Amino acid sequence: MSEKTVLVTGAGGFIGHHLVDYLVRKGLRVRGVDIKAPEYAPTAAHDFRLLDLRVEKNCAIATAGVDEVYHLAADMGGIGYITSSHAAISLHNTLINVHMLKAAREAGVKRFLYSSSACIYPQYLQTKPDVTPLREDDAFPADPEEGYGLEKLYMEKLCQYFTEDWGFPTRTVRFHNVYGPLGTYSGGREKAPAAISRKVAEIADGGTIEIWGDGQQTRSFMHVDDCVEGIYRIMQSDYDRPLNLGTDELVTIDELVDLVAMTAGKTVIKRHDTSRPQGVRGRNSDNSRLRSVLDWEPHIMLKDGIVPTYRWIEQMVAGGAAQLHDPAAEAAE
């Protein structure tokens, strides 16, 4: 086994759990840290610690003796949560991120990867469903999503300043809508693929599901297996500015519903509720720079990735599994 020890924060959450598995398979010694343990499967981390990273001393404990930090811990969720919790999200994430970045530098960590979000992109570029794919340089002039997006953008700049002023090596990845098995699928923090999969699993053939918005808003979705591979590749690269990590396969939410229904073998009646939050009108990832830097990009098509995702959620629904969520939960999802 490699002597290198890496830390994954948010290791009890969706992406973090999968990333721990991936890094262990790479032969790395992995420490996982989160405010909660993984919900659906045991962690593969060699050392898993329950720590609240909003507390500065816990960040020093987490980073002691590690070579690299994959910092995924965050208070976040789906569109309903992030549009109704600006104060909590901004406060919790600011404390987690600032303390973690400072602690990592003071601990002599060799490299620090920060997980940002496509929510940092200006809302004025995302007003149409046929949105032009968003490039990394489009972040400014800034107009990010309130709360979550604004805090993410600030942290990107703080990473940049730590690198420029103090020579602390950082990497920044902007996630675009990650989905897959072992993720939150109910309780208010779930993302669209999981929410729709749960709704379809809960109804009989020919049943009705509620869709937030008119169904014509567009997104691109990245399977978690592509996500964790991309995270690892970005960490190993020499590129220290933000990089998109997503697919450029743009679909409407109605098309996503159709894919899930086809996977389930059900006919679904769509009932749209335009009073519900639906986020920006369109969002897609421009992967030009990612391809240039890594000579790689996510490749799992939505029609393929949604199959194991739906099957897992269907199994959980059939088994009557319930999810309880702490509004302060910091697991990255």
Q: For residues 186 and 230, state if they share a domain.
A: no
DSSP letter for 226, please. Answer: H
| Cα–Cα distance, 101 to 200 (Å, whole number) | 41
Q: For residues 124 and 212, state if they share a domain.
A: no
Q: For residues 203 and 146, state if they share a domain.
A: no
Written as six digits, the tokens of 112 are 């620090």
Q: For residues 77 and 105, state if they share a domain.
A: yes
Catalytic residue (one of 22, 114, 148, 310): 148
pLDDT value of residue 321: 56
Q: For residues 211 and 229, state if they share a domain.
A: no
Q: For residues 135 and 186, state if they share a domain.
A: no
State the chain's mean pLDDT as an integer. 94
Is residue 294 a part of any domain in this protein? Answer: no
Total tally of structural domains belonging to the chain:
2
Written as six digits, the tokens of 46 are 């060699």
Q: For residues 98 and 201, state if they share a domain.
A: no
Is residue 138 a part of any domain in this protein? Answer: yes
Q: Which residues contact 105 (CB under 8 A, 6 or more apart)?
A: 112, 162, 166, 168
149 class by beta-carbon count within 10 Å (0-12 exposed, 13-18 middle, 19+ buried): buried
| Domain membership of residue 42 as a residue range | 5-178+223-245
Q: Which residue has the higher pLDDT, 328 or 308?
A: 308
What are the pLDDT digits (tens) for 52-100?
Answer: 999 999 999 999 999 999 999 999 988 889 999 999 999 999 999 999 9
**Residue 148 annotated among the catalytic residues of the structure:** yes
Mean pLDDT, range 134-162, rounded to an integer: 98
The structure tokens 């194991």 sit at 308
Mean pLDDT, range 22-26, rounded to an integer: 98
Is residue 296 a part of any domain in this protein? Answer: no
Q: For residues 122 and 214, state if they share a domain.
A: no
| Cα–Cα distance, 45 to 29 (Å, whole number) | 8
For the cut 80, the answer to whether the pLDDT of residue 123 exceeds it is: yes
The CATH number of residue 10's host domain is: 3.40.50.720
Q: For residues 214 and 227, state if they share a domain.
A: no
Which candidate, 188, 208, 212, 199, places its Cα nearest to that of 275? 212
Mean pLDDT, range 290-310, rounded to an integer: 98
pLDDT value of residue 330: 32
| Cα–Cα distance, 212 to 139 (Å, whole number) | 27
pLDDT value of residue 78: 85
Give the containing element (helix H, strand E) for 57: helix 56-63
pLDDT value of residue 324: 36
Is residue 328 a part of any domain in this protein? Answer: no
Q: Which residues contact 63 (CB under 8 A, 6 or more apart)?
A: 7, 69, 100, 103, 104, 106, 107, 109
Is residue 29 a part of any domain in this protein? Answer: yes
| Cα–Cα distance, 234 to 253 (Å, whole number) | 29
pLDDT value of residue 44: 98
pLDDT value of residue 322: 47
pLDDT value of residue 188: 85
What are the pLDDT digits (tens) for 186-220?
Answer: 988 899 999 999 999 999 999 999 999 999 999 99
pLDDT value of residue 323: 43
What are the pLDDT digits (tens) for 256-282?
Answer: 999 999 999 999 999 999 999 989 999
| Cα–Cα distance, 161 to 174 (Å, whole number) | 18
pLDDT value of residue 325: 34
